[in-house]
Amino acid sequence: MRGEPTNRLALFASGNGTNVQRICTYFRENKHIRPEVLFCNRTDAFVLQRAQKLELPSVCINRRQLADPDFMRPLLRQYGITHIVLAGFLALIPAYLTTDFPGRILNIHPALLPKFGGKGMYGEHVHKAVVSAGESKSGITVHLVNEEYDRGRILFQAECEISPEDTPATVAEMIHALEQTHFPPVIERWVEGGFSFQ
């Protein structure tokens, strides 16, 4: 372990990992907050290759292991995890984790919740739904995690405008840019207790 930061993040991801990469880069020089480990629920996810390059330890977990407190708790303890960040993690977080980490699990969603959230609403499915609905704006939502998909307290939202020419792909690009800009500083503020209700 490199020194002893007070706050240690576990990053949970399932896919490409652009958010994981940005978070790791953002906190590289931070002595108080450190991404400590990646939990990934897909063995073929590109985020695993990114983690290797970033020298971020990674653990592949299947559905059964995620659901099993006797599997997850010792691992989270081993890495001294204080906060969990879902960065494109597409499985439901089990209740024992929300109990163990009250107010300490954060998710990013690629739309303006409460619209376009819930089961099955992830990644490009969200952008397709937004474009099909003829929305004039979309954005990102960073929120606390409870036992229901996309229903926890909203901490932050940022918007982008959508024109009639936009496609799911162009919306995805705008959302991606918003995530890269805003997610790490929001994580930092949350960890430091900087939201008014904290």
Cβ of residue 95: shortest distance to ligand GAR, in angstroms?
Answer: 18
- Which of residues 104 and 109 has its CB atom nearest to ligand GAR in the complex? 109
According to DSSP, the β-strands at 33-40 and 58-60 are parallel
Closest listed residue to residue 72, CA positions, set 48, 88, 49, 91: 91
Cβ of residue 92: shortest distance to ligand GAR, in angstroms?
Answer: 10
- Which of residues 76 and 145 has its CB atom nearest to ligand GAR in the complex? 145
Cβ of residue 14: shortest distance to ligand GAR, in angstroms?
Answer: 7
Task: Give the 3-state secondary structure of residue 63.
Answer: helix
Q: Which helix (H) or strand (E) holds 28?
A: none
Report the C-alpha gap between 56 and 98 in whole angstroms. Answer: 24
Residue number with the smallest Cβ distance to ligand GAR: 88
DSSP string, 69-129: HHHHHHHHHHTT--EEEESS--SPPPHHHHHHSTT-EEEEESS-TTTT-STT--HHHHHHH
Contact residues toward ligand GAR (CB under 6 A) are: 13, 15-19, 47, 87-88, 108-110, 122-123, 126, 175, 179
- Which of residues 5 and 88 has its CB atom nearest to ligand GAR in the complex? 88
Cβ of residue 175: shortest distance to ligand GAR, in angstroms?
Answer: 6
Catalytic residue among 83, 109, 127, 143: 109
- Which of residues 18 and 65 has its CB atom nearest to ligand GAR in the complex? 18
Report the C-alpha gap between 112 and 162 in whole angstroms. Answer: 13
Could you confirm whether 109 is annotated as catalytic?
yes
- The catalytic residues are 109
